[in-house]
Amino acid sequence: MVVKFFLSFLIFFGWAVMIHCQTITFRVTNPKIGTGGGIDSLEFNVEVKSTVAHYADALQANFYYTIAAFGHYSSPPIGAVSLYGTGITGTGKYQLTATLQSDHINVSAAATHVFLPGDNLATYYELVGTSWTTLFKVRVKIFDNMVTSGIYFYPTFMTQPKNQLYVDPTLGQGQKWGSVSLDETKSLQTLYLGRVFCGTYGWSQVGGTVNWSASSINTSVWDTTTVPASITGTNCLVNNLRIHPYARLKIAPGGELKVSTGGITEITEPFGLWIVSDVTGTGAFMDDGETSITYNGSASIRIQRWVGQNNWHIIGFPIHTVMPQATFLNTYLKWYDESRAVPIAERIKKYRYVINPLPAADSAIVTQDLRGWFHWASSSLTPTYNTVNFNASSGNHLVSGSQTRTLTRTISTDGIYDGWNMVANMYPCPLDWRAVSGWTKTNIDPTIYFWSQPLDIGSGNYASYNGSTQVSTNGGTQYIPSLQGFFVHVTDPQTSGTLGMDNNVKVFSSQAFWKEQITYTDLLDLVAESNGSKDETKVWFNSSATVNFDPEYDNYKLFGDDGIPQFYSLLADNNYAAVNTLPWGGLNTVIPMGFILKADTTVTITASNMESFKSGTRIYLEDIKDGGSMHELTVNPIYTFTASPNDDHDRFVLHFYNPSFGIEDKSFTGMQIYSFEDYVYVMNLVTGTTKGTCVIFDLLGRKVFEANLRDMNLNKFLPGVNEGYYMVRVVTPENLYSQKVYLK
């Protein structure tokens, strides 16, 4: 299915050099796809060199092409091929002509001067040297940009005075012959006609735009090892990708490239595909499975993961086989062995070092899909180490397709279950934790937990994202970055869990901006901040939840480094929660809060999203250390205090007044009485001065406590009585209020 596309050039030599003593070699370079005269076209240069320098009078060669790509010779459109003088033929000394024939296109390039004995050759002719020189530029009109060009050179004959030599017609296509040869490494035969990159022209495509998201095409990368092609745009899509010899394609940080379902990727160069990572981000690449990538010869893919220095990162490995320990020379690499039974207070011992430049490691790097690895590079040991470099090849494929791992929940030596498994995204692109298909999540909580350690702080903390409620803390999202490790938790201690994924969970992170923002009602957001580091915790009232830990609604609190504030809820079942989801407890709901910061410093707690509560809701933050002071967040959302390493962790209590509860009950006007632990609280629900007396009786009617109300909205009293039920009576100048309470 090829038709001869015949370019005629006569080759004469101004020097008296026998033709059999020299070889003429042709090649094509700098392919460019664009529009010419309103018709899509492929443009490229033809270059030539000789083993012996000589002056040229005229040249001859021919090439073939795919009929579907450029049309049939029997009905070629006018202007199907154009020649442009450049290089040797661009000096005005030669005339280029092209005529349409019945079975080929005849083109000639002849010197305008007829050679005469004694002529100064340099005046009338150009020198064909021993290095590559451009001969002319060709433009061919494209009929179908979804196929390959099929263009390749095939020498036919050469002439010179007194000596004519012809190519043996029995020679196969593309064979080299005596005086004329072909640089086959620069053939256009397998060049896709959709979009092309070369070092001279950069990216080009039909239609003149570089917005790859507009359509999917077949794409070639050409002649770019010195100036690698670079994908910087987002959501770029191709049907097929071919990276030719001597070519390299970089996906820059933030760049995104996907090969369509059913598409292939062919690489013929070491590091032919290079997924770049730096401090600003990581490039993203999606393929259609491991068998969709062809590695020709020593071709490979380089995948980078930025780690910086003096920071812990949880990373994944994008290749299957065991990584050589030399890759992590003088760095720290460890994994979390959930099945290792140790006291729960000594959970740090579950980490097993694989690479440790100080004490000896206690295990080796093993092959296990979806395993996450904690990695640390020390500036003192590896001052130039910033990225981990992975190389995929024909013997060690880039991870793609279905991946599965069995998860465990082991009981510790002191009888407490763990269930935390450190896993990782092994794909060189982000994942969507809420993808509608592609995930296998058996007996695991819907929340994922990320470790984040900013470079400018030096201390790390955990972020969380609940895939069921979509409530997050510390910036956690449903999108798991390329080669990012994270923690998941096994729900049922009696059964192992399973985490599996396939290509359907892959996503480009730029798509996150297309998602609609969720609005929550009755959700309080609290951020504790000190010296540039912070921790976030949330309290959400939802009637479907309970006061205990509910995997579908709550996010566990995982504790970060000592130098970062740790703020969290204490649940009824003694769990700690970064997100505490619970039902309203009545007119008043009280939630104990934990706070840890092992430093003497000033801390600011800021409340937000209080507009999500109904009008009239009151929210107080009680600071037990500060004499039980009450700070009404609904009046002033900022509370500043001084922390100390020796502070009681159970320092704060949140109080919520729900104006919608018992709205028809007139007794809920004026003063509201309730208890928490061994304290009695009296809240003034009306404006004005708080005056009166609080008296507490046991169930036999004996007075066990009495105190005056202070002029503040929320009074707190510690009766100091035995655990049990009591009757509290508040007497004001206007009214009498009574409430039965339980004190611990």
User: Phi and psi at residue 599, in whole multiples of 5°?
Assistant: -165, 150
Quickly state the pLDDT bin for 175 (edges 50, 70, 90). Answer: very low
| pLDDT on residue 14 | 29
Quickly state the pLDDT bin for 518 (edges 50, 70, 90). Answer: confident
| pLDDT on residue 153 | 64
Q: What is the pLDDT of residues 535-562, one digit of tens each?
A: 999 999 999 999 999 999 999 999 998 8
| pLDDT on residue 5 | 33
554 vs 535: CA distance, rounded Å:
17
Q: What is the pLDDT of residues 366-421, one digit of tens each?
A: 666 799 999 998 888 888 889 999 999 998 899 999 999 999 999 888 878 899 99
266 vs 192: CA distance, rounded Å:
12
Say which CATH architecture domain 669-743 belongs to. Sandwich (2.60)
33 vs 639: CA distance, rounded Å:
63
CB 631 within 8 A of CB 598: no
Quickly state the pLDDT bin for 198 (edges 50, 70, 90). Answer: confident
Q: What is the pLDDT of residues 656-692, one digit of tens each?
A: 999 887 654 555 567 889 999 999 999 988 767 788 9
User: Which residues does 230 contact at the CB level (< 8 Å), separation at least 6?
Assistant: 249, 250, 251, 252, 255
Burial of 226: CB neighbours in 10 Å, binned 0-12, 13-18, 19+: exposed
Q: Which amino acid is at 12?
A: F
Q: Which amino acid is at 126?
A: E
| pLDDT on residue 112 | 86
For residue 68, the SS3 value is helix
User: Phi and psi at residue 667, in whole multiples of 5°?
Assistant: -70, -10
String of DSSP letters for 659-724: TTTTTT-GGGSSEEEEEETTEEEEEE-SSS----EEEEE-TTS-EEEEEEPPSSSEEEE-----SE
Domain regions of the chain by residue span: 2-186, 195-299, 312-384+400-512, 523-657, 669-743
Q: Which amino acid is at 21?
A: C
Quickly state the pLDDT bin for 181 (edges 50, 70, 90). Answer: low
Any idea what DSSP says for residue 429? S
Question: If you average pLDDT over residues 172-183, what whole number do you get?
Answer: 44
Lowest mean pLDDT among 17-21, 270-274, 474-478, 547-551: 17-21
**669-743 has the same fold as 2-186:** yes
267 vs 300: CA distance, rounded Å:
7
CATH topology for the 2-186 domain = Immunoglobulin-like (2.60.40)
| Secondary element (H or E) of residue 268 | none
Asked if residue 227 has pLDDT above 80, the reply is yes
- The tokens for 565 are 């504030």
String of DSSP letters for 506-536: B--GGGGGGSPPP--SSEEEEEEEETTEEEE
Percent of the chain with pLDDT over 90: 48
Alpha-carbon distances of 98 from 139, 218, 243, 321, rounded to whole Å: 12, 30, 33, 57
The single residue listed with the structure tokens 């840890």 is 596
